Amino acid sequence: MGLRRGAASASTAAFVGILILVVGATGFASMMTPPAPPSPGTAVSSSDGLQLRAGVNATTISPGEKLNITVSILNSLPQENTVRPANDWLFKGVPVALWPPCYFGLPAQMVILKGNYTLQDLRAVAETSYGYVCMEGVSVDHVIFQPNSDEVRLTGLYDVTGTNQTLGPFNMSLSFATGGYWDIQNLSRMLNHPILGDGGNPKVPPPYIPFAPGVYTIAVADEWGQAAVLHVTVAGNPSQCCSSAPGGVQLASIVMVGPYTPAGPTVALTLRNEMGCCITNLTAILGLNENYTFRFGSVSASHPLGEGMFASAIETLIGAGFNSNTSYPLTIKGTTQDTVFTYAMQTSIPPAYSPLFYITAAASCTSSGVPTPCWGDDPFVFQCFNLVSGPATQWTCTEKVTSSSEPGQSYAITVNLPVANQSGEPAWDNCEWSVPGISPGQGYAYCIPTSSTGGSLSFIVADLAPPHL
């Protein structure tokens, strides 16, 4: 089945400050080695059955230090334990993919918040829902835990054929590191909601706001009505740490533009403002073999970046190299009209999923036998020439796009940029395209200039990608 990617894997490490809450369940006979007893400092409540565990590697850290977190659900009984999904949440948070995300629904949710919250507090504070869709999926109806284990098998109904499925085994355990807390409201407004452990890569957490001195709450809930709440202190005086504000600047895309050159790749980095109005200064630092800075010159006090709007920067990364299967740190810094913020995340190049995709010549697409634009993550670079001497403020560019995979397939496309205040125009766009002889034969887009002189302009054309599958 072509389901959305993502399965959490088990990991082993020494953790302290573990909290366990237990819910009873019934099962069938079998024998297996029991789970390890709780380590010192562990709290245990309730009776035999499922155990929800959450742990951290330290209860006090320093500014700039990362926190290692582990989450697991296991069967403490010496026999197989079959439970049904309960959808009984004590609070809501970022979904945790202890099994693949398209096997609905995920069994745990968690938050990392700035402040000292009790479980009762979380019931009121953490009530934001996160949703996503899959092209196909399975509705889980039974979760079958192995004896004394976090290993499970699932049964459920495949929504395409209506047939019963048996899936697994999966280990209901995940660990990751984070350098900060989460703004759960802004995360819920992202174009694609984060899922912890999605894509089989639990070590890349949702975008976070760097820890500053103070107390933080790490809390996990499962769908069987259990919750684990921990508190961590970041030592130091708040005045000694950097100024930061809630995040909400979303990575929209990182793509190479044109062929790789001996000097290094030319990379287009696009961000989207999801933190409100208005950003007046913006930079991003990508950590590869060295740090590379992207400066968003189009963002300023006189031209602030409004909520929902994109901003792009193009840089040739001299001497840079990267592996598309490796994640790299990206730090976004900027100011709003009254706040300085820092926003940190991890990303691959290109990301496993981007909210933007591009007109590309790397594929061949048709509609009723007629060549049409294809969209993907390998952008076609438009070259536009202006006959008027001096810088142009308005461009109309017609290009012939020929498929590199099917050279006999080509079409002519006209792009107008910039455009504004058109009827039905989305807020995020800045250009429009049209192709004669197809339906629909036009659309709005986001054009990213890659180079410009007085008489010519190069750019790539992006649109919003389909939901994360």
Res. 39 pLDDT band, cuts 50 70 90: very low
**Cis before residue 350, ω within 30 degrees of 0?**
yes
Alpha-helix residue ranges (DSSP H) falling in 129-215 = 184-188
CB 194 within 8 A of CB 203: no
Distance CA 14, CA 55 (A): 9
Q: To which residue do tokens 């990392």 refer?
A: 112
Distance CA 297, CA 37 (A): 56
Q: Can you give the residue ranges of every domain in the chain?
A: 16-240, 249-347, 356-464
Q: CB under 8 Å to 239, separation ≥6 — which residues? A: none
Q: To which residue do tokens 């999923």 refer?
A: 353
Higher per-residue confidence, 75 vs 18: 75
Same fold, 16-240 and 249-347: yes
CB 193 within 8 A of CB 101: no
Q: What is the pLDDT of residues 213-260, one digit of tens each?
A: 889 999 999 999 999 999 999 987 543 333 333 447 888 889 888 777
Lowest mean pLDDT among 33-42, 334-343, 373-382: 33-42
Residue 15 has pLDDT above 90, yes or no: no
Is the pTM higher than 0.95? The answer reads: no
Q: To which residue do tokens 């630092």 refer?
A: 285
Strand partners, 456: 385
Q: What is the pLDDT of residues 456-466, one digit of tens each?
A: 889 999 998 77
CATH fold, domain 16-240, is: Immunoglobulin-like (2.60.40)
Backbone phi and psi for residue 37, each to the nearest 5 degrees, phi listed first = -65, 155
* Side-by-side strand order, sheet with 266-273: 249-256, 266-273, 310-316
Residue 306 has pLDDT above 90, yes or no: no
CB 374 within 8 A of CB 381: no
Residue 1 has pLDDT above 60, yes or no: no
Q: CB under 8 Å to 121, separation ≥6 — which residues? A: none
Res. 467 pLDDT band, cuts 50 70 90: low
Q: CB under 8 Å, gap of 24 or more: what pairs does 440-449 form? A: 444/419, 445/359, 445/415, 446/270, 446/310, 446/356, 447/415, 447/417, 447/418, 448/268, 448/270, 448/312, 448/314, 449/312, 449/314
Q: What is the structure's pLDDT at 33? A: 36
Residue 10 has pLDDT above 70, yes or no: no
Q: To which residue do tokens 């059955």 refer?
A: 49
Q: How far is CA 217 from the centre of its chain?
A: 22
Tell me how far CA of residue 237 lies from CA of 181, 243, 352, in angstroms. Answer: 18, 12, 38
The dotted CATH code for 249-347 is 2.60.40
Sign of CA dihedral 250, 109, 327, 169: negative
